[in-house]
Structure 1
Amino acid sequence: MPEFPDLPVRAVLDDVSAALSEHGTAVLVAPPGTGKTTLVPLALAERGARVVVAEPRRLATRAAAERMAALLGEDVGQRVGYSVRGERRRGADTVVEVVTSGLLVRRLQSDPELAGVDVVVLDECHERHLDADLLLALLLDAREGLRPDLRILATSATVASGRAAELLGGAPVLEAKARTFPVRTTYLPPGRGERIESCVARGVRTALAEQDGDVLAFLPGAGEIRRVAGLLDGSDVDVLPLHGRLPHAQQDSALRIGKRRRVVLATAVAESSLTVPGVRAVVDSGLARVSRVDTRRGLSGLATVRVSAAVADQRGGRAGREAPGAVYRCWPEHEHSTLPAYPEPEIRTAELTRLALELACWGTPDGSALTWWDEPPAGPLAAGREVLRGLGALERSGAVTGRGRRMAELGLHPRLARALLDGRETAGTDITAEVVALLDNDALTTETDVVEALARLRRGTAGTDRWRREVRRLRSSVQPHAGTGDAAQVVALAHPERLARRRSAGSPVYLMASGTAVEVPGNSGLQDSEWLAIAVADRAPGSASGTVRLAAPADEALARDAAPALVTTSDEVGWTDGDVRAVRVERLGAITLAERPIREPDPAEVRRALLDGLRAEGLELLHWTDDARRLRQRLGFLRSALGDAWPATDDAALLATADQWLEPELSGARRRSDLRGIPAGSALRRLVPWAEAGRLDELAPDRVEVPSGSRIRVDYQDEQPVLPVKLQEVFGWRDVPRIADGRVPVVLHLLSPAGRAAAVTADLESFWRNGYPQVRADLRGRYPKHPWPEDPAAATPTRRTRRGTGPNG
């Protein structure tokens, strides 16, 4: 081995080797640029170990291998090699192999002993990618059982190493100090209405004017990188993109010093796993793209989120590696303190179907037998297992099936593996491999139409090498088969719940089988299709519907063929648009395919629908006579006066018990008009307590006889019963009548001869003595033919006038 470069990690190489020899595990904390990714594996190999380095990203995997090989003065594939899905460069002399975390999980599944491996280095474990967390859990399990001699080194760019050391059995923590230079921080928040791309471009121009050297700008994704590059077009510098979807040559260009000043526009790949030389200024958008799942709407994918404070520090630190530098942050200074301390672990937010399959293959479907950094959330993991059962990958018990193992071996998400295995038999092997390779790397295209995207990829435009390699790999992994060549068929097999039908003619809005509404962008040619097989859709925060990002035109026949498990037929009887609707409906998920009326619907379902109609529109749907309304009021009065032995008759109570007091009348009803024929009064009498039924008229009489002999109807509308009666008819009464077993006095509304209110009283004796004289004085002149005695309590009541009676009565 040659002399290693003079990097900070050299000071702890012997300590790392000793810690692994003594404890079997260790944690190395070293900032980016200290040499931990390259020098540590070479040093361990120099001491006789065969080393596998697990990287969270493909780009970092290849870059690390090439850097180590260069240090040895060799080509990649000799003593240092690398393996990513679909690409491998290693040989018989390889002693250090760099692999992606996901690929090492697959290797561990097929060989739990990791034969021939002495040390596994888990690089950048602080980034908490899902595959890396799973890999750590499986390695710990393998080490406890089959490989107690397997040594594990976890490396991290942050000082939050306590949990990693704990998981590794109290592993010693070693630290390499970086030689860093001061970094000046400037905040350049977006202006009012300014897009983040414009803000970053402004920050880049400021950095070029104020700082020497190259500029490294962090953006959330390839789309934003393209837009910022366009805004910087014409600048007297080399503008270079850097993200995992680029061809190797373009990635390598961004990682080399150029002849002119450079502006490197990078995603999160440049945060810690890669070294970009020559950087003196960093422009940070403050955003990152992470995996998110919206289980309620059936959407999953990448979401743009604010970075954590730890990530912002790592990004800014890139400016101080080689000399004093500057970082320009595209957010207000006062917002910096509100950033989360660390990134959210992917296992807490991602869709977990693939993880569920790996756990089933390992023999612990719920993951309970493993030691986790953070345990997978029970809900998303259960949802993932349910998806796998639908794909035929798991038994009901949770055990993996032969088909499930085959799907896992393909190295794809289980949905894409299902599309590959089943699609070749219908669409054909060639088109299936092409579509699956596109769906697994949908950032390759900006088209919305899968068919157009495939046409561009086939033409071999820039950036298609990786797609072509993956297509070849997928073709070779399954038996060749001719088919229809339909791209939509493959998309639908991968995401049957995203089959979608246009809501109405000419509308850009479609309803997915999952029940989520999505809209097709106006610049796509997909609006002419009634059906779509949607591959990618997302939803902006606060938006009621999603947006289609990638889809293929389809039709109903294809939808039925691709998703037979979603096709159901059911009799639906309900209250719809103001009446009972009974139809036999055929659906594909939430999408209605066909419906026809049911001639003889289930009577119980009709009854339920009628009750729903009553609850939706109110009791006025029934036939209410004046007597029925009065009965309801009388019953309500008795409940208020005598307690719970009498039924409640407010709307809420009557609707809640409608199935009881309306039962016989509902038996023959079929529609809204039948409700109008139900006499509410006779139905209400069923609520009267059986023991008290005979006393209803006694306790709450409909009418009360007054001294004149008239039978006057009692008004129960208000809280206290009222008897409206002409004053002359109650002469001789000394007290008001009392009802409800004498508990409640009736309030008298005493009327003039013309029927107008003259007085209100519940105490006749007091009224005769104090109120009547004034009433008599006010009214006897206006009504001279009516009696107005001075002593009404002793006078004769009457309903008539007295002929010849003078004004003094």
Structure 2
Amino acid sequence: MPDLPDLPVRAVLDELLAALTGHGAAVLVAPPGTGKTTVVPLALAKAWPRGRVVVAEPRRLAARAAAARMASLLGEQVGDTVGYAVRGDRKVSRATRIEVVTTGLLVRRLQHDPSLPGVSTVLLDECHERHLDADLLLTLALDARAGLRPDLRLLATSATVATDRLVGLLGEGTPVVRATVRTHPVTTVHVPPLRGERVEACVARATRRALSEGDGDVLVFLPGAGEIARTAALLGDVPVVPLHGRLPTARQDAALRPGDGQRVVLATAVAESSLTVPGVRAVVDAGLARVSRMDHRRGLAGLVTTRVSASVAEQRAGRAGREAPGRVYRCWPEHEHPTLPAQPDPEIRTTDLTRLALELACWGTPDGAGLDWWDPPPPGALAAGRAVLTTLGAVTADGVTDRGRRLAELGLHPRLARALLDGADAVGPRTAADVVALLDDDTLAPHPDVSDALRALRAGHPNTDRWRREARRLTRQLDATTPASRPASGDVAWVVALAFPEWLARRRSPGSRTYLMVGGTAADLDGAADAEWLAIARADRRPGHTEGRIRLAARADQRLAETVGATMLSTVDEVAWAEDVVARRITRLGAIVLTDRPLRDPDPAAVRAALTEGLHATNLTLLRWTDTATRLRDRLALLHRAIGDPWPDVTDPALLDRLDDWLGPELATARRRADLAATDTRAALSRLLPWPAASRLDELAPERLRVPSGAHHRVDYSADEPVLPVKVQEAFGWTTTPTVADGRIPVLLHLLSPAGRPVAVTRDLPSFWRDGYHQVRAELRGRYPKHPWPTDPTTATPTARTNRTTR
């Protein structure tokens, strides 16, 4: 091999090789641009001529670029000493000593043969980015090294990394080698958005300022391809070069070559690390990143635009000082910078883990237990992924199935792998491959309708070449014996539904834009809804809304939905309370009601349960509480308060807890609300009377009390204490206050005038005769002269009559 270029990492190569020789693993911390991705693999291959060096990159663009750079350093073509392999594209030969691969592809090779035959060293590049595949690759490589390949050398490289945690994973005492680089000063300028200004307008304004304040290229970081296109339009005649993962390979490569004059490179996060964009003197940072977030409750995954972390902002800024003094223009207020999160969230904490769950099942550790993780997968998210795999037939309680292994070998998300395999049987390999190629990268879709999108791609849309290459690759992956079927209407929807059966959806009402998915989530369709059923391919969350938003879908019908979602079909008899007993036979596809008919002969137990629910919901007001039932309940309530057992608690909660004890016969025969309203509640309540103590009910809580006049007056037990209304003249000669409950509770006397109006309230009658009566006598004897008003009421004859009547 020729001499290595004079890059900063050369200064630590001897230290790095010694660390790998002595320990078998090492961590290399080196800033971007130091050559860790290109110089180090060349040095490893030179130091250990036997065995291949495999470099794992998180992105396809970075893998191809790194291989091209190393091949150019050697003066060779890619595929000679240095090659690469990404999904659908591989350039290697028998002479290849260094192979750059994507992390996902290396995971598949480990699954196929954990011993990695012919590989001497694995270099895990850009560990700090914490992509899901990269975390899984590190975990599986450590497990393979511990069990099968103790001689396998592992080198983890990063620009910024928590070395303590990484060293703990690689093994106690793992050497950490640091390469320092002489950086040029970078001036930081904050260009916050104006009031109401969109991010693209702010970025365009900052970019024009960067162009006017210095020479060299300007590297602009934006969250996605949509923002790149809109910013390019705002920049007008400024030379713009886009750089993101959706571009054709030739256009990506063009962005990584020096330009003829000053230019603006509009890039996504792909330019943060692994890649070097030459000629950059200024960076404009929108301060935003697009990351995947999974809402497991709704079953929706979505790309969410978030603020970048402080470490990412620093790494982006460093791009400006790679070759000369530079400037970074940050499109957020300076006072907000300290509030940025320190590090980005690892994908394993936030994204859909269905594919990870399948890889773990194939590895033989479905729950990931016993493996060394940087961050272990959250149990809830992993369980959700396993639930999806179970519905796809990929795993059972006994582990991964043969079908699951076939799905994993396709290298697609398990949903899409299922759609490819089963779709090939249903609609033919070509149609299945065409649809899956679109679904796998739905950014290719030029239309929100899958059928219209495919027609546009087949007619020569700008994304046609990428889509056609992927469709051909998928077709080749299918068995050659898969029968081809004649295309028919609805084929597209079949494939979509096979991938996302729980996203089959039905319009909520005629003309509505809102659809209810089989899984229970509602989502809105942009524009007018002209289909009763949809097979949804992409729906994402909308912050602040309960409904999701449908991004890509195909028109479907009920027959398709019932066929693909057959495992989610159910017919049940439902008896429930809704102001009355409602009994219906309902056929559902998941959460979608297909038919709903009245049930003529419902299960009596279900009817009883519904009536019980109604009684609880209304606090027993469904029953007709007659005066006699209410008085009995009030008397029992007083005895329970005063004496306790065996007298029952008859409050609403207590009666609801004991419905079977006192209302059982009525509940057994009632069929509707009206039946309960006809219940004899006094007779029902009498079932709670404690025997034989019930024989003393009239003694302990008499309905009426005999007063000195000889009359019997009703006692009111509805308040906290019993009340007896009685005229003053009828109480003459009563020298003790009456009591109930075996003398425990004094009766509150409401003493009335001859006209029946209250004149005094007392629970101490002797005190009233002594202190209060004389004032009452003075006030009332002139008003009621015909009635007796003796000076000594304790010895007077009680009467309800006037003086004349008495004579």
TM over 0.5: yes
The 3 A distance-change label for structure 1 pair 194 and 715 is: farther
Measure, in 2, the Cα distance between the counterparts of 1:186 and 1:717.
78
Comparing 624-633 with 503-512, which one deviates more in the overlay?
624-633
Measure, in 2, the Cα distance between the counterparts of 1:670 and 1:429.
57
Residue in 1 that maps onto 2:477: 477
Residue in 1 that maps onto 2:370: 369
Q: 5 Å matches for 1:504-543? A: 504-522=509-527, 527-543=529-545
Give the CA deviation at 1:484. Answer: 4.2
Measure, in 1, the Cα distance between the counterparts of 2:66 and 2:694.
91
Q: 5 Å matches for 1:51-130? A: 51-130=53-132
**Of 218, 223, 227, the match for 1:224:** 227
Describe the superposition over 1:316-349 as per-residue Cα deviations: whole angstroms up to 9, x where unpaired. 2212212222223233333332322212211122
SS in 1 for 2:400: coil
Q: 5 Å matches for 1:572-587? A: 572-576=574-578, 578-587=579-588
Residue in 2 that maps onto 1:412: 412
Measure, in 2, the Cα distance between the counterparts of 1:692 and 1:263.
96
- Residues 708, 798 of structure 2: 8 Å contact kept: yes
Residue in 2 that maps onto 1:493: 498
- Residues 515, 590 of structure 1: 8 Å contact kept: yes
SS in 2 for 1:662: helix
Is structure 2 residue 205 aligned with structure 1 residue 202? Answer: yes
Measure, in 2, the Cα distance between the counterparts of 1:349 and 1:687.
57
Give the CA deviation at 1:691. Answer: 4.4
- Residues 222, 443 of structure 1: 8 Å contact kept: no
Measure, in 2, the Cα distance between the counterparts of 1:331 and 1:740.
78
Q: 5 Å matches for 1:188-587? A: 188-232=191-235, 234=236, 236-397=237-398, 399-478=399-478, 479-485=482-488, 486-522=491-527, 527-576=529-578, 578-587=579-588
Q: What TM-score do you get using the length of structure 2 for normalisation?
A: 0.96
| Alpha-carbon RMSD | 1.9
SS in 1 for 2:736: coil
Give the CA deviation at 1:487. Answer: 0.8
Give the CA deviation at 1:410. Answer: 0.5
Give the CA deviation at 1:655. Answer: 2.6
- Residues 446, 456 of structure 2: 8 Å contact kept: no
Measure, in 2, the Cα distance between the counterparts of 1:532 and 1:90.
44
Give the CA deviation at 1:512. Answer: 0.7
- Residues 426, 484 of structure 1: 8 Å contact kept: no
Give the CA deviation at 1:634. Answer: 2.1
Code of the residue aligned with 1:360 in structure 2: it is: A
Residue in 2 that maps onto 1:150: 152
Comparing 248-257 with 729-738, which one deviates more in the overlay?
248-257
Measure, in 2, the Cα distance between the counterparts of 1:761 and 1:52.
99
Code of the residue aligned with 2:543 in structure 1: it is: P
SS in 1 for 2:119: coil
Measure, in 1, the Cα distance between the counterparts of 2:775 and 2:197.
80
Q: 5 Å matches for 1:622-641? A: 622-641=623-642
Give the CA deviation at 1:483. Answer: 4.4
Give the CA deviation at 1:407. Answer: 0.8
- Residues 287, 308 of structure 2: 8 Å contact kept: yes
Give the CA deviation at 1:594. Answer: 0.9
Give the CA deviation at 1:159. Answer: 4.3
Measure, in 2, the Cα distance between the counterparts of 1:653 and 1:288.
58
The 3 A distance-change label for structure 1 pair 742 and 211 is: farther
Give the CA deviation at 1:382. Answer: 2.3
Comparing 371-380 with 432-441, which one deviates more in the overlay?
371-380
SS in 2 for 1:165: helix
Comparing 123-132 with 280-289, which one deviates more in the overlay?
280-289
Residue in 2 that maps onto 1:652: 653
SS in 2 for 1:328: strand
Residue in 2 that maps onto 1:693: 694
How many percent identity over aligned positions?
Answer: 67
SS in 2 for 1:430: helix
Give the CA deviation at 1:18. Answer: 2.0
Describe the superposition over 1:42-90 as per-residue Cα deviations: whole angstroms up to 9, x where unpaired. 1112222521100011111111111111212222111111111111111
Measure, in 2, the Cα distance between the counterparts of 1:445 and 1:645.
76
Measure, in 2, the Cα distance between the counterparts of 1:58 and 1:797.
108
Code of the residue aligned with 1:436 in structure 2: it is: V
**Gaps (5+ residues) in structure 1?**
none
Describe the superposition over 1:26-56 as per-residue Cα deviations: whole angstroms up to 9, x where unpaired. 1100011111111111111222252110001
Residue in 2 that maps onto 1:178: 181
Comparing 584-593 with 282-291, which one deviates more in the overlay?
282-291
Measure, in 1, the Cα distance between the counterparts of 2:566 and 2:781.
89
Code of the residue aligned with 1:792 in structure 2: it is: P
Code of the residue aligned with 1:46 in structure 2: it is: K
Give the CA deviation at 1:360. Answer: 1.7
Residue in 1 that maps onto 2:753: 752
SS in 1 for 2:197: coil
Measure, in 2, the Cα distance between the counterparts of 1:211 and 1:79.
40
- Residues 284, 327 of structure 1: 8 Å contact kept: yes
- Residues 715, 723 of structure 1: 8 Å contact kept: yes
- Residues 429, 483 of structure 1: 8 Å contact kept: no
SS in 2 for 1:365: coil
SS in 2 for 1:292: strand
Give the CA deviation at 1:493. Answer: 0.5
SS in 1 for 2:666: helix
Residue in 1 that maps onto 2:597: 596
Give the CA deviation at 1:309. Answer: 1.6
The 3 A distance-change label for structure 1 pair 617 and 224 is: farther
Give the CA deviation at 1:149. Answer: 1.4
Give the CA deviation at 1:804. Answer: 8.2
Residue in 2 that maps onto 1:789: 790
- Residues 189, 329 of structure 1: 8 Å contact kept: yes
The 3 A distance-change label for structure 1 pair 367 and 604 is: same
Measure, in 1, the Cα distance between the counterparts of 2:196 and 2:694.
73
- Residues 737, 766 of structure 2: 8 Å contact kept: no
Give the CA deviation at 1:566. Answer: 0.6
Residue in 2 that maps onto 1:43: 43
Give the CA deviation at 1:286. Answer: 2.3
Measure, in 1, the Cα distance between the counterparts of 2:46 and 2:121.
12
The 3 A distance-change label for structure 1 pair 549 and 802 is: same
Measure, in 1, the Cα distance between the counterparts of 2:289 and 2:693.
73
SS in 2 for 1:341: coil
Q: Aligned residues, how many?
A: 799
Describe the superposition over 1:90-131 as per-residue Cα deviations: whole angstroms up to 9, x where unpaired. 112111111000001111111222111111110001111111
The 3 A distance-change label for structure 1 pair 633 and 336 is: farther
Code of the residue aligned with 2:382 in structure 1: it is: L
Measure, in 1, the Cα distance between the counterparts of 2:280 and 2:308.
21
Describe the superposition over 1:500-536 as per-residue Cα deviations: whole angstroms up to 9, x where unpaired. 11111111111111111111112xx6x1111111111
Residue in 2 that maps onto 1:31: 31
Measure, in 2, the Cα distance between the counterparts of 1:593 and 1:101.
45
SS in 2 for 1:792: coil
Comparing 118-127 with 385-394, which one deviates more in the overlay?
385-394
